[in-house]
A and B are shown apart, each in its own frame.
Chain A
Amino acid sequence: MTVHNFYMFDRYGQLLFYAEWNRLRQSGITREEEAKLMYGMLFSIKSFVSRISPLDSAPGSREGFHCYRTSKYALHYMETPTGLKLVLNTDNVAVNVHELLKQIYSQVYVEYVVKNPLCSLSEPIKSDLFEAQLDAVVKQSHVFTSKPT
């Protein structure tokens, strides 16, 4: 099991933070373009999911969409009520990634960005402390136990 990369978007679609661990393939476009493509895809998936859903989702939930899997990787998605979007790509056998995303939000983002008076919430995150803590949380999690063979 492994973690490939992580994106964080604010509610306007701006890329706040990007990190990668075992990324085996680059998309061949700049990071900025890649982030736009990723945000655009998530936006379309959310709209697709809410239209094709045969039932109503729970009132007040902003999520709807949780994850998708391909033959090689899985994309996990979490959105907070404030519109902050967390995206984590892992291999396609990882389980309980949603717990990890919640942990990243509550133990890393809230602690080291929201509570940090020097970080503006609407700008890309430049805090080294945040980066180090995120790295530690991801590397400690059970999802990141072994490297790909």
Chain B
Amino acid sequence: MVIYSVYIVSKSGGLIFNYDHNIPKIETEKTYSFPLEHKLVYQNKQVVVVFGQRNVGHVLLAVNGAPVNGRTIEDDKNPRDVFEVLENPENYPISLKFGRPKMSTNEKIFLASMFYPLFAIASQLSPQPRTSGIQSLEADTFRLYCFQTLTGVKFILIVEPSQTGADLLLHRIYELYADYALKNPFYSLEMPIRCDLFESNLQSLLEQSEKAGISSV
């Protein structure tokens, strides 16, 4: 099985912990000659492909092996602007690496707080009385499991779509949270979890369940 990531949301809806376990990397690197077949635009602090996504998609990550940060090429000797380099025919042939951008922490906080109302509306629109919120959500590319404790903390697990029965794993993560976060005297409720023991135990739990299956945890 493949576990993509774990999120913990506090009872007031804020993200207090997140861990990316096994996010697949989607990258392509190709060498191009002068008239570049893709149209690139700088938006949201990234160089995004806006035309010709069919073959590469996503954002520009590196030019000739040097990483791109914002719109500058992070070359040790001379940092240059991406667009100036790409406009100059003398720089070709050039090797460009495109890839799917990683989610920033801000985006994760945003998504975690977005899930909170969905969870509440799902129980409001229920055709049956006394239902909980969303417990699992299936999509094309992943499956999301959510477990809400009696105190309102939500544990969210994102796994590959063929995986079932992640509830057990969520209960184990809850145990770890109780043991290593709540019992830590330096941890205060509702605050982001920064406990090394919690993180290392979570990591080994996820690795173990990936190797041996969920039933072994």
The residues of A that contact B24 with a CB separation of less than 8 Å are: 54-55
Q: Mark B41-55, 1 if CB is under 8 A from A, else 0.
A: 000000000000010
Closest chain B residue, CB of each to CB of A49: B139
Closest chain B residue, CB of each to CB of A40: B121
- Closest-CB distance, A7 to chain B (whole angstroms): 10
Q: Is B90 an interface residue (CB 8 A)?
A: no
Tally A residues with Cβ within 8 Å of B: 42
Is the Cβ of A24 less than 8 Å from the Cβ of B128? yes
Q: Is B125 an interface residue (CB 8 A)?
A: yes
Q: Is A109 an interface residue (CB 8 A)?
A: no
Partner of B128, one of A54, A64, A73: A73
Can you give 25 contacting A-B residue pairs, CB < 8 Å?
A4-B127, A22-B127, A23-B127, A24-B128, A25-B129, A38-B125, A41-B118, A41-B125, A44-B118, A45-B118, A48-B115, A53-B140, A54-B4, A55-B24, A58-B140, A65-B137, A66-B139, A68-B122, A69-B136, A70-B122, A70-B126, A70-B132, A70-B133, A70-B134, A73-B127
Q: Which residues of A contact B (CB under 8 A)?
A: 4-5, 20, 22-25, 27, 34, 37-38, 40-41, 44-45, 47-49, 51-59, 61, 63-73, 75, 89, 91
